[in-house]
Structure 1
Amino acid sequence: MYLDCRGVGLLAGSTIMLLTLLWGSCVLGKTDIKNSRVIDSQDTKKLSLTGSGIGVDIWTSYAARIMVISVIPFIIVQLPQIPHTSSGRRLAVLIALIVYVALLVSYCLYQLS
């Protein structure tokens, strides 16, 4: 049985594109920062890499962590692809499925609490 990974690449590519668009729109809304704190809602330092940035709250930080954790099943599926061998691909897909279901249940429980 041949495993076709083109759909996975398309899904990953579209997700990366959408996240990049979101990141780009956030950069347009950057503000001045001094001592790691947003000091006002104005952007007076147009091209400063250290004097301007994006202020976020703690909930944004939690959402970013959840997004990073959600990549784990994708990494598990891709690990057997590195040595270009066919052995272990089905096992990797099974392990990724189990991890995915566990993450889905834990995310649902997180939303309920």
Structure 2
Amino acid sequence: MGLLAGSTVLLLTIIWGTCVIVGKCDLVNSVALDSVDTRRYSLTGSGVSTDIWTSYAARIMIISVLLFLILQLPQLLHSSSGRHLAVLIALIVSLLLLASYYF
């Protein structure tokens, strides 16, 4: 689980952040103008825009973080009997999220 969480955090922070910084363009009405970067380091005047499907996939990824919270709940409550139930719930939720990601 640590390997999966570590690689996910790496991909969502370092690689994604680098792509946003390198690929940013000027924003006009919340839409990026391709290959135009006159506002070098403006936090509000430059950025990236995505399509609606990328937004849907990002929401699914954010919701999938809840699985790690489900798995950590018995650990926080110091419950040894709840671990199997938490793993089963996390498995079912993760399979549902995987299916929703594919569809």
Q: Which bracket does the TM-score occupy, shorter chain normalised?
A: 0.7 to 0.9
State the TM-score, normalizing by the size of structure 2.
0.81
Structure 1 position 40, deviation (Å): 4.4
1:73 partner letter: L
Distance in 2 (CA, whole Å) between partners of 1:106 and 1:68 is 13
Q: 1:77 aligns with which of 60, 71, 86?
A: 71
Distance in 1 (CA, whole Å) between partners of 2:84 and 2:6 is 23
> How far does the alpha carbon of each residue in 1:55-110 deviate from its partner, in whole angstroms, 9 at most, with x for none?
111121111112122223222111222234434111111111122223334444x1
1:57 partner letter: D
Structure 1 position 49, deviation (Å): 0.5
Larger RCO, structures 1/2 (Cα 8 Å, 6+ apart) = 2
Q: 1:91 aligns with which of 69, 85, 89?
A: 85
Establish whether residue 17 from structure 1 lines up as the match of residue 10 from structure 2.
yes
Distance in 1 (CA, whole Å) between partners of 2:26 and 2:54 is 19
Unaligned stretches of 5+ residues in structure 1: 1-7
**Number of aligned residue pairs:** 102
Structure 2 residue matching 1:33: 3-state secondary structure = strand
Which residue of structure 2 lines up, in the alignment, with residue 38 of structure 1? 32
Distance in 2 (CA, whole Å) between partners of 1:46 and 1:66 is 31
> How far does the alpha carbon of each residue in 1:15-40 deviate from its partner, in whole angstroms, 9 at most, with x for none?
11122212322221100013322244
RMSD of aligned Cα (Å)? 1.9
Structure 2 residue matching 1:56: 3-state secondary structure = coil
Identity of aligned residues (%): 62
